[in-house]
Amino acid sequence: MKVRDIMTSDVSYVTVNADITQVADIMKSLDVGIVPVCDENKNPIGVITDRDIVLRSISDNNPNQHVGNIMSRDIISVNSDTDAHEAAALMAQNQIRRLPVIENNKIVGILSLGDLANVNIHVNEAGETLSSISKPGSGMK
Query: Does residue 69 carry a pLDDT above 60?
Result: yes
- For the residues 32-55, what does the mean pLDDT come to? 92
From residue 103, alpha-carbon distances to 16, 77, 79, 110, 123 in Å are 21, 10, 6, 12, 26
Radius of gyration of the chain (CA): 15
Average pLDDT for the chain: 84
Contacts for 116 with CB less than 8 Å, ≥ 6 apart: 6, 84, 87, 88, 122, 123, 125, 126, 129
**CB-side exposure of 82: number of CA atoms within 13 Å?**
23
Query: Where in the chain are the domains?
Result: 3-133
CA–CA gap between residue 49 and residue 68 (Å, rounded) = 12
Residue count of the chain: 141
- For the residues 52-56, what does the mean pLDDT come to? 87
Question: Can you give the pLDDT at residue 41?
Answer: 87
Question: Can you give the pLDDT at residue 118?
Answer: 80
Question: Can you give the pLDDT at residue 122?
Answer: 47
CATH topology of domain 3-133: CBS-domain (3.10.580)
- The per-residue pLDDT for range 100-121, each reduced to its tens digit, is 999 999 999 999 988 888 876 5
Read out DSSP for 11-59? ---B-TT-BHHHHHHHHHHHT-SEEEEE-TTS-EEEEEEHHHHIIIIIT
pLDDT category of residue 126 using cuts at 50, 70 and 90: very low
- Give the global pTM: 0.79
pLDDT category of residue 66 using cuts at 50, 70 and 90: confident
